[in-house]
Structure formats: structure tokens, C-alpha cells
Chain A
């Protein structure tokens, strides 16, 4: 070295580097970036998801359509810049007008922002219907069977309307329970009798007396249906159309709506902020509590929530024992060597296999082989498969298979991190290896196992692709829990929030109408996963505190 440099100039940067300051900045930046992106995603979902339930004001838009003025009543959805190739961008507004049947089946309209003028009319009514989405218009009158029409400006109009709507609603429930209950039970009984006959034919053990008996019973059930049940149902249904609500839509046209399809009416422009908030809560509540309507684009998502929940729980129940047993063997009993190393690497790589591959495996193995065998063994002669088709059981097992590597890895790690001193202490007391594992190692590894479960649940609950092959449906006839004995129906098909998002967002005929549902459903799915994970985390923290290493 020629000239020794100024020692001061050298020490300062070196010290800073040794203190790791640049690394602190780098790691902080990494964290900030990922947190910002995740936070942004969550904000988009929460904002759009919650926005669905907010009762916006209805505005009257008059649009200048080449000299001719047209009027629309609707809710502003958003403004955006429309770009056409070769032209300057145009500011465009999207309006929800409802009244699909009056606008060629479209519930949304787009206009140039520059061409419209707006006004907020007071007494506009928003009508929620069973069919064809919402209706928007000025109420005109109520046509009640056997009475003179009740005009909208009559003081009794609103209370009468509410009373009739609730009456209709009750009857709707009554029809539903009648059809599902009395009629459904008859149909079920008939099906069972047919199955019995078919099973007899399949096993070639024909009992003529029993067949005669069955035929008689079927005929009796058929007669009961045509003579009693069906007429009663028809009468109930006809009653639903007794009264009508007349609305005047923006174009001045009058529109008659049978009260049978009306779920609720509201004057959005008369709501106070508190009223709006109440409405918001009601909408959110109905969304999570109701069955879907109209190809899932309206109504709630209750069956999908239940389906996701049941499937995730079943998956956890299956994945934990398998994962833990495998990890114990790998870590405690298997001779550590090349073979175990290969197994471990394979298990880790299993997590990288595309989930659809697991779906295909689940379909081939669980559904066709296992389910098919169960069917041919326990349900011979059935025309429709029971377990030999997609079912919540097979979906859970498929996802359990997919997520088992996570549990194995987490369990192995936590078993390995149990201090050797603790094992030695146990062995020195005369405990056998298994007693040591069971009484010392496993309890101390539960927090780690739960971490694995949390990761597995988060991955499993959000998975869609494999489920499409092994049991998810667009619309399930019944929930996999509740109903009749045995209350948990492992052979049922089920609805799932992730699949619901895909179905509503990308498979529905009216994707614009479905968009808000997509956000709201995503929000619910995130909240559900969060709730499941939080409960696991709470258990884990309690156990952690119990097993925390003491102070020295």
C-alpha cells in the first residue's frame, strides 16, 4: 500500500455497512412493497364488495340522442374514459336502469357524459323482484283483487303495499315448504320403491308379492299427487298473482308487476343516511343468508358459504391425521438416509403440482374407483350413482391430498425443533419412544401443526379448479349439512364460494349485473378464510402460551 488513506474516511462507511443499514432498508422495502400490493387488493375487494349493498340514489337522466331527448331512471355505476381506435377518448357514464324487459334484456346503459342532464326525483320506487332483476319507476297504483285500485298518492298506499308483500312472502315460503316437504317426500318414497324394484331385478331375486305391493303403492302415490297435492299447489301458486303493482317507468310507459314476484320495495331517494345504513345492513345480511336466484346473479350465497365451510372442515379433519402420522414416521422412525431424503423432496414438490392434476386424480381414484366400488357394493341396481359421482367427501379428500405436504413439512419442522433435552428427560424417566412422542413431542409440536393446518386451510378454501371435477355445482339442490338424518351428507354435491365467483363472473349471461356479486362473494370468501384461520390462530396462541419456554 502506497499511502494509507485517511482513517476517518474509511471507518464511517465501513461501520454503516457492518451495522447492516443498507440491508435494513432493503428488507423494509421488500416488506413495504408486498404489503402495499396486498393492501391495495384488499381495498379494491372491500370497497367494491361493500359498495354492492349501499342503496344509491336513483337519478333521472335525460339524454340528448341526436336531437331527440330520451329519459332514463337509474343509478350511476361509474364514469370511465371510452377509447375507440382512431378517435379521441369520450367520457362515458354507466347507468343501472333495471327494468330489463323494457330495455331488450339489458339492465345497464352507457351514455356520453356531455350529452346528459340529471335530476333527482323524489318518489321513485325500487322494486326487488324474484325474476328479471330490479324494477325502477314511479308507483302509480295497487290493483287489489276485489277492490278498487289504490292510488299511489293515497295515504294508505305504503302500509297496504307492505302488508300485501309480507302476505305474498309468507305464501311463497308456504309453497316452497309444501313442494319440498309433502310433495318431495312423496317423490322420494316413490323413488325408493322404484330403486327397490330395480335392485331386485339386478340381483335376480324377484319376489312377485312384493313387486305387486310396490306397484300398488306407486299407483296410490301417483293418484294422491294428481288428485290432491297438485291441485293444491296450483291453487296456491295462482293466489300469488291476485294483486298487481303498477309502475310508470321513465319513458312514461306503465308496467304491471304481479305482487307474487315482489320481494321488497323501497324509495331510495327518501332514505335518510341512517335509513340508507339500515338498508345497507339488510342487503348485506340477505346476501349471506339467502339462496341465490336467477342463475346466481341475484339473491344470496348462503349455500356456497355453507358448502365452502363444510368442505374446508372436512378437509382439515382428513389432512391433519394423515400429515401428522406421515411426519412422525418420517422424522422419528424412518432411518435417515437417501431414501427418506428423496421422500422428503418429493413431498415438498408435491405442493408444486398444478391443482387441476389433483382434481383429475380425485375424479379417477376417489370418484370412479372408490365411489364406484361403494356404489356397486352398497347400492346395487341404482340407476344414478350415490358415491360414484362428485361429492363433498371426494372434494374434501382431494383437497386434503393436495394440502397434505404443507402439514407434513410444518409438522416435521416442529417435531424437529423439540429440544433433545426434553426427549432425553422423558426417556430417562423410563418412557418408551412412542410414549415420548405421544406425551412430550406431539403436545409441544401442536402449535407448529396448527400453523401447517392454517396454511392448508387457506390454500384449500380458495381452490377452485380441482373442485370442478369432484363435486362442486353451480346450484346444489340441498345443503351438505342439516336436513334429514344423518345431518351430514357426504355424498351430496355442494356449492363453493370460489367456484361461485368463477361461475357468476365468467359464465353468467349478464356479466355486468354479476360484477358486484363477484366482489361481494370474494369479500365473503376472504372473511370466511380469515375467520377459520383466526380460530386456529387463537387455539395456537393459547397452546403457545402453555408451552412457552420459561424465564431463566
Chain B
């Protein structure tokens, strides 16, 4: 793909980025970039003119009170909201230099590059093995050796290997809720996407599994771009490089995590982080 720098994108974009924009760190290109993006469920506008740039190979956290539109924005990055009737949007989202609403773009190829872990775990009613190789199978990979290796890597990555290695052919629905969530993570990383979207991946996990997933995220960021939605401030502080705070469908503040947690420029941000509202 053509390498586009942050500057290219910015000069080609007519809209003015209003907040503390850009990835900040020089040399790190912006990877996902929202331009004045608004989104509607029918008549309800749930995202209001969002503009933010997510840099490559970093972890970006979305925080904010429940119902503020974090999931909605995340699900738009891989056009998962297309399935819902009566939605529409204004503005644009650009992923590695190309708009995701390009009519010539195949949505399936976009989704192959952008993996997703959902807020509610959704394993398929198949065996653990088949769940993980699903993405490869639909892409036409059927070589047993490749699949086997991929299953092991993905399960190790999602900290599930030890628990699942002896029951790969058992139904995934027999796993516990937390194990199912880790299975979904394994399924998402098995296809080796460039971007991984994680919607509260640890909400059903115990502290040990949570820390394993956090380790995984830090590991993943070496090769992937990760966007994670979380309600856990400590988690955001631990794993993310940059943090975006949303409130009622608006982007309140977006900056490096360090700055957001130590020296936010908005009063609202400080209140939210210290637990005074939300």
C-alpha cells in the first residue's frame, strides 16, 4: 500500500483538526484518521463531528461513560455498523490512506485487515479449533500444518493455550465466559490483522487473565495497531500510549496517556479520571 504520512493526510483534508491533533511523536504515521465524523442511528446522532488520528503500532484507549459512543465509533472502523438498518454518517474515516467508504473497496478485505473483539463474546457453535481457524478457512487456507501452527500461536497469544490444548476439538460453547472471551481474542489475532479493535476485552476476565491479555496487547503493539475500549482507568493507563475521552458522542480530549492522566487540559477530563462524574 502507498505509504502516506500524517502530513499528506492533513494537507489533503479540508477540515481543520480542532483538538490537540496528530500523533505527536514525529515519524509515526497516522493510521486511522477520522475527519469530522458524525454517525446516526436513524434520527439519533450518536457521534458528533469526531476528528482524531490514531497512530500506527501504538495502543489507543477509548474511555468515557456508558453510552457515549465508544463502541459505535470502534464498530465503524471495520464498517460493522453497516449491518444495522437505517444508519448513516457524515465526514470520513481513513485507514492507511484510503477512505473506508470507497465504493471500490471490498468490505471483506477491509475486515480481514481490521480484526475485532466484541464487547459480548461471540464464539461460533463449532469446536475451539474451528473457531480459531475460521478466518483462515474463509480466506481459503486449508493446509493442516498452517492451521495447526496458527491455532497454537493464537491460543498462546490469548493466554488460553494451557487450558484448551487438550480439548481443541471440543465445542467452544463449553468454555467459561472468560475463556470464551479469550477465544474470541485468539480468533481475531489468528488472521494477523494490521489493526485490532478491542471492545472491553477484559470485562469478563479475572485479574490473572486480564494481566495476560494486557501483556498480549503490549506484545501485539510491536506489529499491530491496537484500539481498545475500556472502563478501567488503570488498564488504560497501563497499556495505552494515547487516550481519547468521549462524552455524549463528542470527543472531549485526545492526547498521550501520560498527559491525560497527569495533566489534562480539560476540566471534564480531570473530573472523569478522578471519578467525579460518569
* Residues on A facing B (Cβ under 8 Å): 336, 419-432, 435, 439-440, 443-444, 546-552
Q: How far is the CA of A8 from the CA of B184 in the complex (A)?
A: 55
Given the contacts A420-B83, A427-B80, A432 and B138 also touching, CB distance less than 8 Å: yes
Q: How far is the CA of A550 from the CA of B178 in the complex (A)?
A: 12
3 smallest CB-CB distances across A and B, nearest first, come from A550-B173, A430-B112, A421-B122
B229 at the interface (CB under 8 A from A): no
Contact of A427 (CB < 8 Å), options: B83, B109, B171, B176: B83
Per-residue interface assignment for chain B, residues 164 to 183, with 1 indicating a CB less than 8 Å from any chain A CB and 0 otherwise: 00000001111111001000
Can you list 23 pairs linking A and B with CB atoms under 8 Å apart?
A336-B85, A419-B122, A420-B83, A421-B122, A424-B80, A424-B122, A425-B184, A426-B134, A427-B83, A428-B78, A428-B188, A429-B138, A429-B191, A430-B109, A430-B135, A431-B135, A431-B138, A432-B138, A439-B134, A439-B138, A444-B125, A549-B125, A550-B175
B261 at the interface (CB under 8 A from A): no
A420 to chain B: which residues have CB within 8 Å?
83
Nearest CB in chain A: distance from B187 CB, A: 7
Question: Is the pair B83, A424 in contact by a Cβ cutoff of 8 Å?
Answer: yes
Question: Is the pair A428, B176 in contact by a Cβ cutoff of 8 Å?
Answer: no
Question: Is the pair B134, A429 in contact by a Cβ cutoff of 8 Å?
Answer: yes
A549 to chain B: which residues have CB within 8 Å?
125, 173
Nearest CB in chain A: distance from B86 CB, A: 11
B212 at the interface (CB under 8 A from A): no
Q: How far is the CA of A333 from the CA of B132 in the complex (A)?
A: 28
* Residues on B facing A (Cβ under 8 Å): 78, 80, 83, 85, 108-109, 111-112, 115-116, 118, 120, 122-125, 134-135, 137-139, 171-177, 180, 184, 187-188, 191
Given the contacts A431-B134, A439-B138, A426 and B80 also touching, CB distance less than 8 Å: no
Question: Is the pair A443, B125 in contact by a Cβ cutoff of 8 Å?
Answer: yes
B78 to chain A: which residues have CB within 8 Å?
428
B125 to chain A: which residues have CB within 8 Å?
422, 443-444, 546-549
Nearest CB in chain B: distance from A338 CB, A: 15
- Specify the chain A residue showing the minimal Cβ separation from B121: A421
- Specify the chain B residue showing the minimal Cβ separation from A419: B122
Q: How far is the CA of A358 from the CA of B189 in the complex (A)?
A: 54
Interface centre among A435, A547, A550 (most CB of B within 10 A): A550
Given the contacts A429-B134, A429-B187, A552 and B176 also touching, CB distance less than 8 Å: yes
Question: Is the pair B172, A428 in contact by a Cβ cutoff of 8 Å?
Answer: no
Nearest CB in chain B: distance from A307 CB, A: 39
Q: How far is the CA of A420 from the CA of B78 in the complex (A)?
A: 16
A429 to chain B: which residues have CB within 8 Å?
111-112, 115, 134-135, 138, 187-188, 191
Given the contacts A550-B172, A550-B175, A422 and B124 also touching, CB distance less than 8 Å: yes
Q: How far is the CA of A499 from the CA of B120 in the complex (A)?
A: 55
- Specify the chain B residue showing the minimal Cβ separation from A425: B122
Q: How far is the CA of A546 from the CA of B172 in the complex (A)?
A: 10
